[in-house]
Structure 1
Amino acid sequence: MGWRTDLGVRLAGAIVACLAWASLAFAADLTSAPPADSSANEFPQAAPYITLFQEVRVGAYAHNPNHDESAPVDVSFETLSSNLPFANFSNPYVNWFLSPRIGLGAMVNTGGKTSYAFGTFNWRIPIWKMLFFEGELGGAVNNSPDWQGPQRIDMGCPLTFREAGGFGLQLTQNWDVVATVSHASHASFCTSKNPGDTDFGVVVGYKF
Protein backbone atom coordinates (compact mmCIF):
# COMPACT_ATOMS: atom_id res chain seq x y z
CA MET A 1 0.00 0.00 0.00
CA GLY A 2 3.03 2.29 0.39
CA TRP A 3 3.39 2.97 -3.33
CA ARG A 4 -0.33 3.76 -3.60
CA THR A 5 -0.09 6.28 -0.76
CA ASP A 6 2.98 7.80 -2.39
CA LEU A 7 1.12 7.86 -5.72
CA GLY A 8 -1.78 9.74 -4.18
CA VAL A 9 0.42 12.30 -2.44
CA ARG A 10 2.64 12.97 -5.45
CA LEU A 11 -0.19 13.09 -7.98
CA ALA A 12 -2.34 15.30 -5.77
CA GLY A 13 0.58 17.68 -5.33
CA ALA A 14 1.20 17.84 -9.07
CA ILE A 15 -2.49 18.40 -9.88
CA VAL A 16 -2.81 21.09 -7.19
CA ALA A 17 0.25 22.83 -8.65
CA CYS A 18 -1.27 22.76 -12.15
CA LEU A 19 -4.60 24.09 -10.92
CA ALA A 20 -2.92 26.78 -8.83
CA TRP A 21 -0.94 27.89 -11.86
CA ALA A 22 -4.12 28.02 -13.95
CA SER A 23 -5.96 29.96 -11.24
CA LEU A 24 -3.23 32.59 -10.97
CA ALA A 25 -3.09 32.98 -14.72
CA PHE A 26 -6.90 33.12 -14.86
CA ALA A 27 -6.92 35.97 -12.33
CA ALA A 28 -4.27 37.85 -14.28
CA ASP A 29 -6.17 37.40 -17.54
CA LEU A 30 -9.34 38.92 -16.09
CA THR A 31 -7.68 42.34 -16.34
CA SER A 32 -6.75 41.94 -20.00
CA ALA A 33 -9.27 39.55 -21.60
CA PRO A 34 -13.07 39.25 -21.51
CA PRO A 35 -14.50 36.22 -19.68
CA ALA A 36 -15.67 33.17 -21.57
CA ASP A 37 -19.06 33.76 -23.20
CA SER A 38 -21.46 32.02 -25.56
CA SER A 39 -18.71 31.86 -28.22
CA ALA A 40 -17.28 28.92 -26.26
CA ASN A 41 -20.31 26.96 -27.46
CA GLU A 42 -19.42 27.47 -31.13
CA PHE A 43 -17.21 25.28 -33.28
CA PRO A 44 -13.86 26.98 -33.99
CA GLN A 45 -13.33 28.50 -37.41
CA ALA A 46 -10.20 27.38 -39.26
CA ALA A 47 -7.77 30.13 -40.30
CA PRO A 48 -6.45 30.19 -43.89
CA TYR A 49 -3.05 29.04 -42.63
CA ILE A 50 -1.70 26.65 -39.97
CA THR A 51 0.43 27.46 -36.95
CA LEU A 52 1.80 24.51 -34.96
CA PHE A 53 2.05 26.50 -31.73
CA GLN A 54 -1.44 27.91 -31.17
CA GLU A 55 -1.63 26.30 -27.73
CA VAL A 56 0.88 24.76 -25.31
CA ARG A 57 -0.03 22.40 -22.47
CA VAL A 58 1.51 20.78 -19.42
CA GLY A 59 -0.06 18.05 -17.31
CA ALA A 60 0.36 15.61 -14.44
CA TYR A 61 -0.84 11.99 -14.70
CA ALA A 62 -1.13 8.83 -12.63
CA HIS A 63 1.15 6.46 -14.54
CA ASN A 64 -0.50 3.24 -15.74
CA PRO A 65 -2.00 2.22 -12.37
CA ASN A 66 -3.26 -1.12 -13.74
CA HIS A 67 0.36 -2.16 -14.55
CA ASP A 68 2.54 -1.02 -11.66
CA GLU A 69 6.03 0.13 -12.70
CA SER A 70 6.76 1.68 -9.30
CA ALA A 71 6.98 5.11 -10.94
CA PRO A 72 3.50 6.56 -10.41
CA VAL A 73 3.69 10.07 -11.89
CA ASP A 74 3.97 11.18 -15.52
CA VAL A 75 4.45 14.74 -16.76
CA SER A 76 3.09 15.65 -20.18
CA PHE A 77 4.12 18.38 -22.60
CA GLU A 78 2.08 19.14 -25.72
CA THR A 79 1.68 21.76 -28.43
CA LEU A 80 -1.51 22.11 -30.47
CA SER A 81 -1.83 23.68 -33.90
CA SER A 82 -4.60 25.88 -35.20
CA ASN A 83 -7.53 24.07 -36.81
CA LEU A 84 -6.69 22.54 -40.18
CA PRO A 85 -8.12 24.79 -42.92
CA PHE A 86 -9.07 22.08 -45.43
CA ALA A 87 -12.86 21.87 -44.85
CA ASN A 88 -15.23 24.23 -46.63
CA PHE A 89 -18.72 22.73 -46.39
CA SER A 90 -22.06 24.31 -45.51
CA ASN A 91 -22.60 21.80 -42.68
CA PRO A 92 -20.69 23.06 -39.59
CA TYR A 93 -20.44 19.54 -38.13
CA VAL A 94 -18.72 18.26 -41.27
CA ASN A 95 -16.35 21.22 -41.16
CA TRP A 96 -15.64 20.53 -37.49
CA PHE A 97 -14.84 16.86 -38.11
CA LEU A 98 -12.54 17.69 -41.04
CA SER A 99 -10.79 20.53 -39.17
CA PRO A 100 -9.06 18.97 -36.15
CA ARG A 101 -5.93 20.38 -34.57
CA ILE A 102 -2.55 18.64 -34.74
CA GLY A 103 -1.09 17.66 -31.37
CA LEU A 104 2.60 16.92 -30.81
CA GLY A 105 3.96 16.02 -27.39
CA ALA A 106 5.46 13.60 -24.90
CA MET A 107 4.39 11.66 -21.81
CA VAL A 108 7.49 11.50 -19.59
CA ASN A 109 7.65 9.18 -16.58
CA THR A 110 9.35 10.86 -13.62
CA GLY A 111 10.81 7.54 -12.45
CA GLY A 112 12.59 6.72 -15.72
CA LYS A 113 10.13 3.98 -16.65
CA THR A 114 7.94 3.78 -19.78
CA SER A 115 7.58 7.11 -21.59
CA TYR A 116 6.45 7.97 -25.11
CA ALA A 117 6.29 10.74 -27.70
CA PHE A 118 3.11 11.17 -29.71
CA GLY A 119 1.43 12.87 -32.63
CA THR A 120 -2.37 13.07 -32.75
CA PHE A 121 -5.40 14.77 -34.22
CA ASN A 122 -7.41 16.70 -31.61
CA TRP A 123 -11.15 17.44 -31.77
CA ARG A 124 -13.03 19.69 -29.34
CA ILE A 125 -16.82 19.47 -28.92
CA PRO A 126 -18.55 22.38 -27.16
CA ILE A 127 -21.12 21.18 -24.62
CA TRP A 128 -22.44 24.11 -22.58
CA LYS A 129 -20.92 27.51 -21.89
CA MET A 130 -17.39 26.88 -20.54
CA LEU A 131 -17.70 23.07 -20.67
CA PHE A 132 -16.36 21.01 -23.58
CA PHE A 133 -15.37 17.47 -24.47
CA GLU A 134 -12.06 16.76 -26.20
CA GLY A 135 -10.81 13.66 -28.02
CA GLU A 136 -7.48 12.73 -29.59
CA LEU A 137 -6.44 9.96 -31.96
CA GLY A 138 -2.99 9.26 -33.40
CA GLY A 139 0.22 7.34 -32.84
CA ALA A 140 3.12 7.14 -30.40
CA VAL A 141 6.64 5.73 -30.02
CA ASN A 142 7.68 4.38 -26.61
CA ASN A 143 10.85 3.32 -24.80
CA SER A 144 9.51 0.22 -23.03
CA PRO A 145 11.84 -2.80 -22.76
CA ASP A 146 11.29 -5.89 -24.91
CA TRP A 147 10.99 -8.04 -21.80
CA GLN A 148 8.48 -8.32 -18.96
CA GLY A 149 9.96 -8.03 -15.50
CA PRO A 150 9.38 -6.70 -11.98
CA GLN A 151 8.01 -3.15 -12.13
CA ARG A 152 8.42 -2.97 -15.93
CA ILE A 153 6.03 -3.67 -18.80
CA ASP A 154 6.72 -4.84 -22.34
CA MET A 155 4.46 -2.78 -24.62
CA GLY A 156 4.91 -5.36 -27.39
CA CYS A 157 6.48 -3.00 -29.92
CA PRO A 158 7.82 0.56 -29.92
CA LEU A 159 5.08 1.93 -32.22
CA THR A 160 1.52 2.13 -30.89
CA PHE A 161 -1.77 3.91 -31.35
CA ARG A 162 -2.61 6.68 -28.92
CA GLU A 163 -6.10 7.80 -27.88
CA ALA A 164 -7.17 10.35 -25.29
CA GLY A 165 -10.41 11.88 -24.13
CA GLY A 166 -11.73 14.06 -21.35
CA PHE A 167 -13.83 16.99 -20.21
CA GLY A 168 -12.50 20.51 -19.89
CA LEU A 169 -13.32 24.08 -18.88
CA GLN A 170 -12.47 27.10 -21.04
CA LEU A 171 -11.52 29.48 -18.23
CA THR A 172 -10.74 32.46 -20.48
CA GLN A 173 -9.97 33.01 -24.14
CA ASN A 174 -6.39 31.96 -23.34
CA TRP A 175 -6.58 29.38 -20.55
CA ASP A 176 -8.26 25.99 -20.28
CA VAL A 177 -8.01 22.96 -18.00
CA VAL A 178 -8.87 19.37 -18.98
CA ALA A 179 -9.38 16.23 -16.88
CA THR A 180 -8.38 13.45 -19.25
CA VAL A 181 -7.40 9.82 -19.73
CA SER A 182 -4.87 8.72 -22.36
CA HIS A 183 -4.14 5.23 -23.67
CA ALA A 184 -1.31 3.88 -25.83
CA SER A 185 -1.28 0.32 -27.22
CA HIS A 186 -0.79 -1.52 -30.51
CA ALA A 187 -4.20 -3.28 -30.47
CA SER A 188 -2.46 -6.69 -30.86
CA PHE A 189 -1.13 -5.78 -34.32
CA CYS A 190 2.49 -6.43 -33.28
CA THR A 191 2.41 -9.38 -30.87
CA SER A 192 0.10 -11.07 -28.40
CA LYS A 193 1.71 -8.89 -25.69
CA ASN A 194 -0.44 -5.79 -25.45
CA PRO A 195 -0.64 -4.54 -21.84
CA GLY A 196 -1.09 -0.93 -22.94
CA ASP A 197 -0.29 2.25 -21.05
CA THR A 198 -3.32 4.02 -19.56
CA ASP A 199 -2.78 7.27 -17.66
CA PHE A 200 -5.24 9.52 -15.78
CA GLY A 201 -4.54 13.18 -15.21
CA VAL A 202 -5.13 16.90 -15.54
CA VAL A 203 -3.63 19.24 -18.15
CA VAL A 204 -3.51 23.03 -18.27
CA GLY A 205 -3.31 24.80 -21.63
CA TYR A 206 -2.45 28.33 -22.75
CA LYS A 207 -3.60 29.53 -26.18
CA PHE A 208 -1.61 32.28 -27.87
Structure 2
Amino acid sequence: MVGLLGFEAANAADLTTPLAYAPPAVGVGLISELRGGVLAHNPAGRESGSADVNLELLFVKPFQPADPVMAFFVPRIHLGTTINTAGDTSHVYAGFTWTYDFTDKLFAEASFGLGFHNGKTSDFVPRNRLALGCSPLFRESASLGYRISQNWSVMATVEHLSNAGLCNDNQGMTNYGVRVGYVF
Protein backbone atom coordinates (compact mmCIF):
# COMPACT_ATOMS: atom_id res chain seq x y z
CA MET A 1 0.00 0.00 0.00
CA VAL A 2 2.82 2.41 0.88
CA GLY A 3 4.50 1.62 -2.46
CA LEU A 4 1.25 2.29 -4.23
CA LEU A 5 0.81 5.64 -2.44
CA GLY A 6 4.37 6.61 -3.30
CA PHE A 7 3.68 5.81 -6.94
CA GLU A 8 0.50 7.90 -6.91
CA ALA A 9 2.32 10.84 -5.30
CA ALA A 10 4.97 10.76 -8.01
CA ASN A 11 2.31 10.76 -10.73
CA ALA A 12 0.52 13.69 -9.10
CA ALA A 13 3.78 15.66 -9.05
CA ASP A 14 4.32 14.85 -12.72
CA LEU A 15 0.95 16.38 -13.56
CA THR A 16 2.04 19.77 -12.22
CA THR A 17 5.04 19.87 -14.58
CA PRO A 18 4.10 22.14 -17.52
CA LEU A 19 4.45 20.99 -21.10
CA ALA A 20 6.06 24.28 -22.13
CA TYR A 21 9.67 25.06 -21.35
CA ALA A 22 12.13 27.91 -21.73
CA PRO A 23 13.85 28.11 -25.14
CA PRO A 24 17.18 26.24 -25.33
CA ALA A 25 19.33 29.32 -25.91
CA VAL A 26 18.87 32.82 -24.54
CA GLY A 27 20.51 34.87 -27.30
CA VAL A 28 23.54 37.06 -27.70
CA GLY A 29 23.09 40.73 -26.95
CA LEU A 30 19.78 42.00 -28.28
CA ILE A 31 19.27 39.45 -31.07
CA SER A 32 17.87 36.04 -30.18
CA GLU A 33 17.25 34.47 -33.60
CA LEU A 34 17.80 34.87 -37.33
CA ARG A 35 15.37 33.26 -39.80
CA GLY A 36 15.24 32.85 -43.53
CA GLY A 37 13.12 30.96 -46.00
CA VAL A 38 11.15 30.74 -49.21
CA LEU A 39 7.44 31.50 -49.51
CA ALA A 40 4.94 30.96 -52.34
CA HIS A 41 3.72 34.45 -53.29
CA ASN A 42 -0.06 34.83 -52.90
CA PRO A 43 -0.80 31.46 -54.56
CA ALA A 44 -4.60 31.82 -54.36
CA GLY A 45 -4.89 35.20 -56.11
CA ARG A 46 -3.33 37.93 -58.20
CA GLU A 47 0.47 37.99 -58.47
CA SER A 48 0.57 34.21 -57.95
CA GLY A 49 3.18 32.02 -59.60
CA SER A 50 6.35 33.42 -58.08
CA ALA A 51 8.42 32.98 -54.93
CA ASP A 52 9.42 35.27 -52.08
CA VAL A 53 12.61 35.29 -50.04
CA ASN A 54 11.95 35.98 -46.35
CA LEU A 55 14.49 37.21 -43.77
CA GLU A 56 13.64 38.00 -40.16
CA LEU A 57 15.43 39.05 -36.96
CA LEU A 58 13.87 38.32 -33.58
CA PHE A 59 15.06 40.17 -30.49
CA VAL A 60 15.34 38.80 -26.95
CA LYS A 61 12.36 39.09 -24.63
CA PRO A 62 12.56 42.07 -22.26
CA PHE A 63 12.07 39.58 -19.41
CA GLN A 64 11.32 35.85 -19.09
CA PRO A 65 8.67 34.82 -16.54
CA ALA A 66 9.29 31.47 -14.83
CA ASP A 67 5.72 30.31 -15.49
CA PRO A 68 5.56 28.99 -19.11
CA VAL A 69 1.99 30.16 -19.58
CA MET A 70 2.91 33.69 -18.49
CA ALA A 71 6.08 33.52 -20.63
CA PHE A 72 3.87 33.07 -23.71
CA PHE A 73 2.31 36.49 -23.10
CA VAL A 74 5.70 38.25 -23.27
CA PRO A 75 6.44 38.66 -27.01
CA ARG A 76 9.68 39.11 -28.87
CA ILE A 77 10.02 42.07 -31.22
CA HIS A 78 10.71 41.14 -34.84
CA LEU A 79 11.94 42.99 -37.95
CA GLY A 80 11.84 41.40 -41.37
CA THR A 81 11.38 41.57 -45.09
CA THR A 82 9.69 39.46 -47.74
CA ILE A 83 11.13 40.13 -51.19
CA ASN A 84 9.36 38.92 -54.32
CA THR A 85 11.71 37.37 -56.88
CA ALA A 86 9.54 38.37 -59.90
CA GLY A 87 9.24 42.10 -59.16
CA ASP A 88 5.75 41.91 -57.68
CA THR A 89 4.81 43.21 -54.22
CA SER A 90 7.54 43.06 -51.57
CA HIS A 91 7.39 44.39 -48.02
CA VAL A 92 9.30 45.18 -44.85
CA TYR A 93 7.65 44.61 -41.49
CA ALA A 94 7.95 44.92 -37.73
CA GLY A 95 5.87 43.68 -34.84
CA PHE A 96 5.58 41.18 -32.01
CA THR A 97 6.00 37.38 -32.00
CA TRP A 98 4.50 35.05 -29.38
CA THR A 99 5.97 31.52 -29.11
CA TYR A 100 4.50 28.54 -27.28
CA ASP A 101 6.63 25.43 -26.81
CA PHE A 102 4.56 22.24 -26.72
CA THR A 103 7.69 20.15 -26.08
CA ASP A 104 11.42 20.78 -26.26
CA LYS A 105 11.14 20.15 -30.03
CA LEU A 106 7.66 21.24 -31.19
CA PHE A 107 6.45 24.86 -31.03
CA ALA A 108 3.83 27.20 -32.48
CA GLU A 109 4.01 30.93 -33.08
CA ALA A 110 1.75 33.85 -33.86
CA SER A 111 2.82 37.37 -34.78
CA PHE A 112 1.18 40.72 -35.37
CA GLY A 113 2.52 44.04 -36.63
CA LEU A 114 2.69 46.44 -39.58
CA GLY A 115 4.11 45.98 -43.07
CA PHE A 116 5.18 48.65 -45.57
CA HIS A 117 4.99 47.48 -49.19
CA ASN A 118 5.92 48.60 -52.70
CA GLY A 119 2.66 47.30 -54.24
CA LYS A 120 -0.17 49.09 -55.97
CA THR A 121 -2.44 51.42 -53.95
CA SER A 122 -4.00 53.71 -56.58
CA ASP A 123 -7.40 53.48 -58.25
CA PHE A 124 -5.91 52.03 -61.45
CA VAL A 125 -4.32 48.66 -60.76
CA PRO A 126 -3.33 46.31 -63.60
CA ARG A 127 -5.27 43.01 -63.68
CA ASN A 128 -2.17 40.99 -62.76
CA ARG A 129 -1.34 43.08 -59.67
CA LEU A 130 -2.89 43.26 -56.19
CA ALA A 131 -4.95 46.30 -55.19
CA LEU A 132 -3.73 46.75 -51.62
CA GLY A 133 -5.36 50.14 -51.02
CA CYS A 134 -2.79 51.78 -48.77
CA SER A 135 0.44 51.37 -46.88
CA PRO A 136 1.19 50.43 -44.17
CA LEU A 137 -0.85 47.24 -43.87
CA PHE A 138 -1.52 44.99 -40.91
CA ARG A 139 0.69 41.87 -41.01
CA GLU A 140 -0.09 38.64 -39.21
CA SER A 141 1.73 35.32 -39.39
CA ALA A 142 1.56 31.86 -37.87
CA SER A 143 4.15 29.09 -37.80
CA LEU A 144 4.38 25.51 -36.66
CA GLY A 145 7.98 24.58 -35.98
CA TYR A 146 10.34 21.77 -35.05
CA ARG A 147 13.71 22.22 -33.31
CA ILE A 148 16.33 20.10 -35.03
CA SER A 149 18.95 20.98 -32.40
CA GLN A 150 19.52 23.55 -29.67
CA ASN A 151 20.28 26.20 -32.31
CA TRP A 152 18.45 25.13 -35.51
CA SER A 153 14.73 24.92 -36.25
CA VAL A 154 12.50 24.52 -39.29
CA MET A 155 8.96 25.89 -39.54
CA ALA A 156 5.97 25.97 -41.85
CA THR A 157 4.78 29.59 -42.05
CA VAL A 158 1.82 31.54 -43.40
CA GLU A 159 1.84 35.36 -43.51
CA HIS A 160 -1.02 37.70 -44.41
CA LEU A 161 -1.08 41.43 -45.15
CA SER A 162 -4.29 43.46 -45.31
CA ASN A 163 -5.61 46.92 -44.50
CA ALA A 164 -8.61 45.44 -42.63
CA GLY A 165 -11.02 47.47 -44.75
CA LEU A 166 -9.55 50.81 -43.70
CA CYS A 167 -8.77 51.80 -47.32
CA ASN A 168 -10.77 51.62 -50.57
CA ASP A 169 -9.15 48.47 -51.95
CA ASN A 170 -8.39 45.52 -49.70
CA GLN A 171 -7.45 42.44 -51.70
CA GLY A 172 -4.80 41.43 -49.18
CA MET A 173 -1.90 39.08 -49.75
CA THR A 174 -1.22 35.66 -48.22
CA ASN A 175 2.10 33.83 -48.61
CA TYR A 176 2.92 30.24 -47.56
CA GLY A 177 6.29 28.61 -47.13
CA VAL A 178 9.12 27.10 -45.12
CA ARG A 179 11.71 28.89 -43.02
CA VAL A 180 14.83 27.88 -41.11
CA GLY A 181 15.80 29.58 -37.85
CA TYR A 182 19.11 29.87 -36.02
CA VAL A 183 19.06 30.74 -32.30
CA PHE A 184 22.22 32.51 -31.11
Identity %: 38
Q: Are the counterparts in 2 of residues 81 and 101 from structure 1 also a CA contact under 8 Å?
A: yes
Q: Aligned residue for 1:201?
A: 177
Which 5+ residue runs of structure 2 have no aligned equivalent? 1-17
Distance 2:180 2:119 in 1: 27
Q: What per-residue deviation string (whole Å, max 9, x for no partner) do you get for residues 128-160 of structure 1? A: 341111111111111112232131112110111
Q: Aligned residue for 1:183?
A: 160
Partner SS for 2:62: coil
Q: Aligned residue for 1:112?
A: 87
Partner SS for 1:93: helix
Structure 1 position 162, deviation (Å): 0.5
Distance 1:69 1:101 in 2: 31
Give the direction of change, closer, same or farther, for the CA distance of 1:81–1:150 in structure 2 (3 Å limit): same
Distance 1:180 1:129 in 2: 19
Structure 1 or 2, whichever has the larger Rg, is 2
Q: Which range moved further: 72-81 or 51-60?
A: 51-60
Structure 1 position 93, deviation (Å): 1.9
Residue type of the partner of 1:55?
A: E
Partner SS for 1:150: coil
Q: Does 1:59 align with 2:34?
A: no
Distance 1:45 1:204 in 2: 16
Structure 1 position 53, deviation (Å): 2.2
Distance 1:126 1:106 in 2: 25
Distance 1:206 1:115 in 2: 23
Residue type of the partner of 1:180?
A: T
Which structure 1 residue ranges, 4+ long, deviate > 3 Å from structure 2?
43-47, 49-52
Q: Aligned residue for 1:102?
A: 77
Partner SS for 1:54: strand
Give the direction of change, closer, same or farther, for the CA distance of 1:40–1:105 in structure 2 (3 Å limit): farther
Question: How many residue pairs are counted as aligned between the two chains?
Answer: 165
Which 5+ residue runs of structure 1 have no aligned equivalent? 1-38
Distance 2:116 2:129 in 1: 17
Q: Aligned residue for 1:168?
A: 145
The structure with more strand, counted as a fraction of residues:
2
Distance 2:146 2:58 in 1: 17
> Under a length normalisation based on structure 1, what TM-score does the superposition of the two structures give?
0.72
Give the direction of change, closer, same or farther, for the CA distance of 1:54–1:109 in structure 2 (3 Å limit): same
